[in-house]
């Protein structure tokens, strides 16, 4: 399998970003605020889960040491 990270890959990435920008520019402010609020809540939820799992790993490591 060839790893294409050359100019063609860069062009695809730029095209994808341009499409996203065009899409977001077409939305009204309230829709953008709603989407950002939801995304922020999802990130916070993920962070809490990561913290919970890190705590669990630390507990398991302490139990394995004894």
**How does DSSP assign 23-36, residue by residue?**
HHHHS-HHHHHHHH
> 39, 11, 45: which is closest to 24 by C-alpha?
39
Whether pLDDT at 24 is above 50: yes
Confidence category of residue 1, pLDDT binned at 50, 70, 90: very low
Whether pLDDT at 65 is above 60: yes
Asked if residue 26 lies in contact with residue 35, where contact means CB atoms within 8 angstroms, the answer is no
| 28 Cα distance to chain centroid | 23
- % of the chain exceeding 90 in pLDDT: 79
Any idea where the domains of the chain sit in the sequence?
A: 29-66
Residue the block writes with tokens 């962070």: 47
Whether pLDDT at 2 is above 60: no
pLDDT at 36: 93
- Condensed to tens digits (0 to 9), the pLDDT of residues 29-47 reads 999 999 999 999 999 999 9
């Amino acid at each position: 399998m060839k790893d294409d990270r050359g100019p063609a890959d860069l062009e695809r990435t730029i095209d994808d970003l341009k499409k996203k920008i065009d899409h977001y520019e077409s939305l009204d402010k309230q829709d953008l605020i709603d989407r950002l609020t939801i995304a922020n809540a999802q990130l916070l939820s993920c962070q809490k889960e990561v913290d919970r799992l890190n705590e669990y790993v630390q507990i398991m490591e302490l139990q394995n040491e004894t």
